[in-house]
Amino acid sequence: MPEYDFRCGNCGEKVTIRATISEREKGLNCPHCGTKDLHQIFSGITFIGSSTGSDFSSFPPGCIPGGGCCPS
Ligand SMILES: [Zn+2]
């Protein structure tokens, strides 16, 4: 049975609910306050900013770490 992580929009609690697909489609209730105002959290997905790679610009092209081409 898959687990789903939710953030409750009513009480703000993070809840992990095990439910079948059909149970989930019927609607899940927050175990803390009982509302259906649950927003699924997709964990494991990391959004990497567009600035990724800019750090490498400080190294000269062709530099091999430990290769003696740069003072260390
Ligand atoms: Zn709640």
In the sheet with 38-41, reading across from the earlier edge strand, the strands are 14-18, 3-8, 38-41
**How close is the Cα of 28 to the center of ligand 1, in Å?**
11
Task: For residue 15, list its beta bridge partners.
Answer: 6
Owner of token pair 């009982």: 34
Q: What is the mean pLDDT of residues 43-72?
A: 59
Q: Rounding to the nearest 10 degrees, give the CA dihedral for residues 52, 57, 62, 67.
A: -90
More confident residue, 14 or 66: 14
Q: What is the mean pLDDT of residues 37-63?
A: 63
**How close is the Cα of 51 to the center of ligand 1, in Å?**
36
**How close is the Cα of 25 to the center of ligand 1, in Å?**
18
Indicate the CATH number of 3-44 among 2.60.120, 2.20.130, 3.40.50, 2.20.28: 2.20.28
Q: What pTM did the predictor assign? A: 0.55
pLDDT band at 70; cut points 50, 70, 90: low
**How close is the Cα of 17 to the center of ligand 1, in Å?**
12
- Report the pLDDT value the prediction gives residue 2, as an integer from 0 to 100: 87
pLDDT band at 8; cut points 50, 70, 90: very high
Q: Burial, 34: exposed, middle or buried (Cβ in 10 Å; 0-12, 13-18, 19+)?
A: exposed
